[in-house]
A and B are shown apart, each in its own frame.
Chain A
Amino acid sequence: MDNRVDQITDKHECQCGHSDNIEGLSDRVDQIIDKHNCEASSLIQVLLEIQSENHWLPKEALDQVAERLQVPLTRIQQIATFYKAFSLVPKGRHGIHVCMGTACHVRGAQRVLDTVENLTKIKPGETDLDLKFSLETVNCLGCCALGPVVEIDGKTHGKMAPAEMADVLKNYE
Chain B
Amino acid sequence: MERINSANELEALRKSILSSRDTNKPCITICSGSACHASGSKEVASRIEEEIANQGLSGTVDVRKTGCHGFCEKGPIIVIHPEKICYFQIKPEDVSEIVTETIIGKKIIERLLYTDPATNEKIVYESEIPFYKNQERLVFGSNGSIDPKNLDDYLAIGGYSALAKALFQMTPGQVVEEVKKSNLRGRGGGGFPAGSKWEGSRNAPGDIKYVIVNADEGDPGAYMDRSLLEGNPHSVLEGLTIGAYAVGSHEGYIYVRQEYPLAVENVTTAIKQAQEYGLLGKNILGSGFDFTVKVHMGAGAFVCGESTALMTALEGRAGEPRPKYIRSNVKGLWNRPSVLNNVETWSNVPLIINNGADWFTKLGTESSKGTKIFSVVGKINNTGLVEVPMGMTLRDIIYKIGGGIPGGKKFKAVQTGGPSGGCLPEELLDLQVGFDELTKAGSMMGSGGMIVLDEDTCMVDVARYFLEFLTDESCGKCVPCREGIRQMLQTLTKITQGKGKEGDIELLEELAETAREAALCALGKSAPNPFLSTLKYFRNEYEAHIKEKRCPALSCKELIAFYIDPKKCQACTTCARKCPSNAIIGGKNLIHMVDQEKCTKCGTCFEVCPPRFSAVKKISGEPVPDPIPEEARIIVRGGKKNE
Contacts and interface: CB of A to CB of B under 8 A. Distances in A.
Nearest to B263: A142
Nearest to B34: A142
Contacts of A82: 301, 318-319, 475
Interface stretch (A1-9, A13-21, A105-113): A105-113
A83 to B, nearest CB: 4
Interface stretch (B172-180, B186-194, B391-399, B597-605): B597-605
Contacts of A102: 220-221, 377-378, 415, 418, 449, 451, 465-466
Contacts of A146: 35, 38-39, 72
B154 interface: no
A41 B315 contact: yes
Contacts, number: 154
Contacts of B35: 142-146
Nearest to A86: B299
A110 B218 CA distance: 19
A26 B30 CA distance: 43
Nearest to A97: B259
B579 interface: yes
Contacts of A106: 378-379, 451, 453, 457, 462
Interface residues of A, number: 51
Contacts of B581: 118
B75 interface: yes
B300 A101 contact: no
A139 B375 CA distance: 14
A60 B392 CA distance: 56
A79 B318 contact: yes
A103 B37 CA distance: 18
B220 A163 contact: no
Contact of B317 (A79, A103, A145, A165): A79
A161 B221 contact: no
Contacts of A84: 299-301
B335 to A, nearest CB: 13
Given A41-B315, A106-B453, A140 B223 contact: yes
B378 A107 contact: yes
A147 B316 CA distance: 34
Interface residues of B, number: 64
A115 B580 contact: yes
Contact of A41 (B33, B316, B379, B579): B316
Contacts of A171: none
Interface stretch (A27-35, A42-50, A127-135): A42-50
B220 A75 contact: no
B27 interface: no
A44 B49 CA distance: 39
B220 A111 contact: no
A61 interface: no
Given A86-B299, A143-B34, A146-B38, A166 B580 contact: yes
Interface in A83-104: 83-86, 100-104
24 contacts: A75-B317, A78-B318, A79-B299, A82-B301, A82-B318, A83-B301, A84-B300, A85-B258, A102-B449, A103-B221, A103-B378, A106-B457, A118-B581, A118-B600, A142-B34, A143-B72, A144-B221, A145-B73, A145-B384, A146-B35, A161-B604, A163-B578, A163-B602, A165-B580
Interface of A: 39-45, 47-48, 52, 75, 78-79, 82-86, 100-108, 110-111, 114-115, 118-119, 138-147, 149, 156, 158, 161-163, 165-166
